Structure 1
């Protein structure tokens, strides 16, 4: 058995600053008291311990307290991405079989109209309280969070992350980065993503403060880095570039107190690393996924220029191997360790997450002679746009649902701001305007998944088995888009 993280942290360092948001700061003791109250209010509304519930809201103190309240109740939290469309959210609610939804008032309109049960944050916060016995200990196998990741079939998979997964990830990270009592994590990534959620976990386990931003604000974050008010931050390439630009515009350097930017969600361009170095800004490239509760490998900042393009070495408890490598040593990246998910829920509940203990990522990569991981392609067809993973099959399934579309294929096109954007190719059964197809996609998909362009062609490239060859779609991209 392991201690309830929130109770234990409030016991060990009650008066230490835990969270800062919009100029206000809460201690660990205050967050514990608020979340205990919220747990009693949730209980009064009929939510039972260990229920599976869904949560959606912006990254604010209200969401943090609601998450901690659900942790106190040992609920399995389905973290809903508030950028998704109603139909995408409806799928996750149906697949997860969550008993209710806790939703921030400003996000109420995003909840599908046929949702049977949901509670606004304001309803919970103004509810009566009911006594509940908060567990002082948790088991390693207890599911804490569930996050949906797009599947290669086009159907998102609900990934379970346990107490043990999160603890192993946080422990491996701290063994890599080190720990000081005054460290502060600047969090400008959504809390519904594994990158944001893991920052909260690390805060509870390390006793460090989180500087929380509801939205990414390059100017405010640059000022924070200049002043040294934070020590660590997680970014993707597109947000890293915005921070670099903001610092360069001010002709300012990062404070010596700011230690590291952890960059995930795809490779970091060499130019960004060079610019960061000129600003005294250390950048550590990382590799991880929802199934591994954040980082699996991290490149030390001192190796950034010598091992450009590498995601580094596996963290202390983690193992990486390359399955069935070709002559160049490239093969599927496989991961083993205590941070790997035990499995999925819903339609993929019977699918094993590992084969003989190894998670087969579908990503292609190689290890160099020094043991550094290089990711060649994040899944054969995966599109990474602004750090968000987009599977072509998911967009294709939406397009194929339209009566005018006979066939659909999607690939990624390089984009100077977002890294990549999705481009769709369609074979039509009947004439329809591109504008109507775009409007159809906007109803069914998150904004970042909507194809940048939809191109009508006579036939899609396929192999002898009639399988779509998405890699050939790239060759069909017009030069003028």
Structure 2
């Protein structure tokens, strides 16, 4: 049995700070009071334990209160991405069969032309409180959240994440990272995404403060890191680059209290790691996905440069292997097993098993070296096969990102009559830079067949809510005027 997270945490450390946002802060006891008030109001509209609701909001204290209110009430929460179109939201609401759609007031415009029943945050606040009993212990198999995958092929799948999935993930993480009573995790990741939601889970399990940001503000984040007001942060490579740039502007270093930059979403370029070392920023590269309730493997800070590009070793309860891999260094699909792995899907994908012979097929290509470290090479769907040679976009992107005037880079394959497919690159630069200069830069560092055949200079790259690069969108740009 697993304790109802917030109820147990508020009992153990009621006066410890749970959440801060701007100049405001709330203790775990205050957070519990907010959550119980919401949970009691939800009972008044006949939402019972085990019912499924859909939730859409921003990264705000009100969203945190609503999430915890739904959790205390024992509801299954379908976490909706607030960047979706009304059509995409309508599809997920229908597929999930959510009983009620709960939506932050500022997104009420998304309810237009949508026939699903909804309630805004302010509408819920006006509901009467119904005296209720809330379950103090959960069955480990109880579904906590449902998050839809990005849908690289076909329709997105609603991934179930259980109490055991989330709890196991948080415990594996703390066994790797350690815990200090003064820990404070700065959260800029969307709360509807597994990377953001998992920070809330760690908070109630560890008794740790979450310093919440509504949007990514590189300057403010860098200042907090240098003042020591926060100790940890989760980012992707682009976020790390922006923080480093702010620190470099004022020649600052991280406060000794700061402990971890948890970097996911793909390999971190060596240039970023070297710059992080100069700024005394401990960067831990990590690998995970929606189906694994956040982290599966994490690289230690001391190995960041020695094992550059690696996602590290599996966390304590987790297992990783390479499909059909018979020797170290052999590339194949990454398979994952452990208590953090989803038991399955909902809706149209409910009949699809999440496991094959006990292993989750991630769709990622990678290898394990002779010391047991995992390297993610690329998404299987993004692999470029050119003249029989396998080309991994991430390798080229990392080379381009090491150029001092390149801020971001994205690579995808373009059809070619002679070679089948060839790599092309989309780059964001901070000053004038020619395609000829980039071509020469790449030719000194890449085999000729890996050098992009064309360079497109763009203002920004397409990314999803967790800031991961959408290479499939780059492909659509090739034959459009969007770039």
1:333 maps to which residue? Answer: 334
What are the Cα deviations for residues 47-72 of structure 1, in whole angstroms up to 9, with x where unaligned? 22211000010111100010001001
Q: In 2 relative to 1, CA 113–177 (structure 1 residues): closer, same or farther, beyond 3 Å?
A: same
Mapped contact 1:87–1:112 kept (Cα < 8 A): no
Give distance in 2, aligned partners of 1:413 and 1:142: 44
Of the candidates 412, 415, 422, which is equivalent to residue 427 of structure 2?
415
1:474 maps to which residue? Answer: none
2:31 maps to which residue? Answer: 31
- Secondary structure (helix, strand or coil) at the match of 1:135 reads coil
Displacement of 1:379 = 2.9
Displacement of 1:90 = 1.2
Alignment of 1:127-276 (within 5 A): 127-276=127-276
Displacement of 1:180 = 1.2
Displacement of 1:413 = 4.2
Paired residues in the alignment total 413
Match status 1:21 vs 2:33: no
Displacement of 1:151 = 3.5
Displacement of 1:322 = 0.4
Q: Over the residues paired in the alignment, what is the CA RMSD in angstroms? A: 2.7
Displacement of 1:22 = 1.5
Alignment of 1:282-297 (within 5 A): 282-297=282-297
Mapped contact 2:93–2:116 kept (Cα < 8 A): no
Mapped contact 2:40–2:130 kept (Cα < 8 A): yes
Give distance in 2, aligned partners of 1:164 and 1:309: 30
Unaligned runs of 5+ in 2: 384-392, 402-409, 413-420, 431-461
Displacement of 1:286 = 0.2
Q: In 2 relative to 1, CA 134–90 (structure 1 residues): closer, same or farther, beyond 3 Å?
A: same
What are the Cα deviations for residues 349-387 of structure 1, in whole angstroms up to 9, with x where unaligned? 01000011100111110000000000111233289999x
Structure 2 length-normalised TM: 0.81
Mapped contact 1:361–1:379 kept (Cα < 8 A): no
Give distance in 1, aligned partners of 2:258 and 2:361: 35
Give distance in 2, aligned partners of 1:299 and 1:44: 47
What are the Cα deviations for residues 416-452 of structure 1, in whole angstroms up to 9, with x where unaligned? 479xxxxxxxxxxxxxxxxxxxxxx9xxxx9986946
1:104 maps to which residue? Answer: 104
1:400 maps to which residue? Answer: none
What are the Cα deviations for residues 174-204 of structure 1, in whole angstroms up to 9, with x where unaligned? 0001111111110011000000000000000
Displacement of 1:36 = 0.1
Mapped contact 1:364–1:380 kept (Cα < 8 A): no
Give distance in 1, aligned partners of 2:301 and 2:428: 24
Mapped contact 1:38–1:66 kept (Cα < 8 A): yes
Unaligned runs of 5+ in 1: 393-408, 419-440, 458-477
1:374 maps to which residue? Answer: 375
Displacement of 1:26 = 0.3
Give distance in 2, aligned partners of 1:80 and 1:49: 20
Displacement of 1:144 = 0.3
Displacement of 1:215 = 0.6
Alignment of 1:456-475 (within 5 A): 456=479
What are the Cα deviations for residues 375-424 of structure 1, in whole angstroms up to 9, with x where unaligned? 111233289999xxx9x9xxxxxxxxxxxxxxxx9998443479xxxxxx
Mapped contact 1:101–1:117 kept (Cα < 8 A): yes
Structure 1 length-normalised TM: 0.81
- Secondary structure (helix, strand or coil) at the match of 1:257 reads coil
Q: In 2 relative to 1, CA 7–251 (structure 1 residues): closer, same or farther, beyond 3 Å?
A: same
Displacement of 1:348 = 0.5
